[in-house]
Amino acid sequence: MKQIPWTPTSGFALLILALLASACSPAAPATSLPAETAAPQASAAPATQPPPAAPSNQGPLTVFEWSGYELPEFWQPFADQYPDVKVDFSFFADDAEAIAKLQTGFEVDIVHPCYSWLGQYIDAGLVQPIDTSRLSNWPGIIPELAKLGEVDGKQYFIPWDWGYETTLARTDKVQEVPDSYADLWDPQYAGHVSIYDAAESVWVVTALALGLDPYSTTPEQQQQIKQKMIELKPNLLNYWTDYSEIVQLVASGDVWLASNAWNDAYVLLQEENIPVEYTTPKEGRLGYVCGYVITSQAKNLDLAYAYIDAAIAPQSMANLSNMYGYGAANRDALPLTDPEVVAALELDNPDILTRTYFYQPIDAAMRDLITGIWSEVKAAP
């Protein structure tokens, strides 16, 4: 979903929901996060726990990241605590690339995947369980998000960022702001639509536009989705691949409707005083959550725990929200978040949860099917 700060990764409003409603969300349907009213397990270290002892291995620490998340503002407590430890960043464009590279033997300590791909990392033996008692900031993590990373009673994934994908509309170019993904196919927008060049993202949007469940389709429905994807092509200016690219296209007026746009694109366009609306389609904004895992071959385990703990610290998380407009997994970051960001993205609206369609885990076979169909669609005249 997301590629760079928004980022395979978000309408959730879980941050606000957990704060205002003590994490008591309603029972989750197939398209929402699992409800979880309990706080993270008591094994978590208290917030006042002193810093861990200096790690036995002095690095360098290696982090496999989305471009843009290497900024020190997102892990400053680690730099302060271990000023002599070098952090080496490598970057990937999506989770498929990250998994493929790790399977070739590429060695790193930490990776930043999105939740819908977690099962494939685990099944491939690429990651190890995480001892949350070693994370002093773990008690602040929103319980619903924490639950996502738990598999067979073990915590593999530390949620960090969440965000939306939805349609950005140039309000001075369209007669009426779209209220459905199906509006992307309206002939009046011919040549002025751009959609994210990601197979799963387009698959989900198209299925929802057809009134189908993207994660439970028959072979006949799969062909229906494929045909609908092809029918969008006359409306497309291009397939966008980079958040800066879609910001420029919307700002120039070439694109009137940008599908699967991330929070950061909206924030940046607002800052440039471009007349845009971040829509809430009747099908729901798409939502995703991403976070950190420790690889099974990590050479710097102590440093990996220290880095993740620094990344989920309240100020680190608030910096993420304030700079990119994404939601923070640590609920203690909310008081430190710019009120304008909170208002612009409806982070204080608990009802946003019920209007968000969350990406779900799918197996490798289904991903291969979707990717194959997407390749055929792009090659079609």
What are the pLDDT digits (tens) for 304-361? Answer: 999 999 999 999 999 999 998 888 999 999 899 999 888 877 766 766 656 778 898 8
Pick the CATH number of 166-281+363-379 from 3.40.50.1110, 3.40.190.10, 2.40.160.60, 3.30.360.10: 3.40.190.10
Residue 278 pairs in a beta bridge with 168
* Per-residue pLDDT tens digits for 256-273: 999 999 988 998 998 899
Please tell me the class of the 14-162+287-358 domain. alpha beta
From residue 284, alpha-carbon distances to 137, 141, 166 in Å are 31, 24, 8
Q: Would you kindly state where each structural domain of the chain is located, as residue ranges?
A: 14-162+287-358, 166-281+363-379
* Per-residue pLDDT tens digits for 107-158: 999 999 999 999 999 999 999 999 999 999 999 998 888 998 999 999 999 9
What is the C-alpha separation between 34 and 145, in angstroms, rounded?
9
Domains 14-162+287-358 and 166-281+363-379 share a fold: yes
* Per-residue pLDDT tens digits for 43-59: 344 444 445 544 456 88
Residue-level pLDDT at 353: 58
- pTM of model > 0.85: no
Q: Cis peptide before 60, with omega less than 30 degrees from 0?
A: yes
Residue 261's φ and ψ, nearest 5 degrees, are -70, 145
What is the C-alpha separation between 181 and 190, in angstroms, rounded?
15
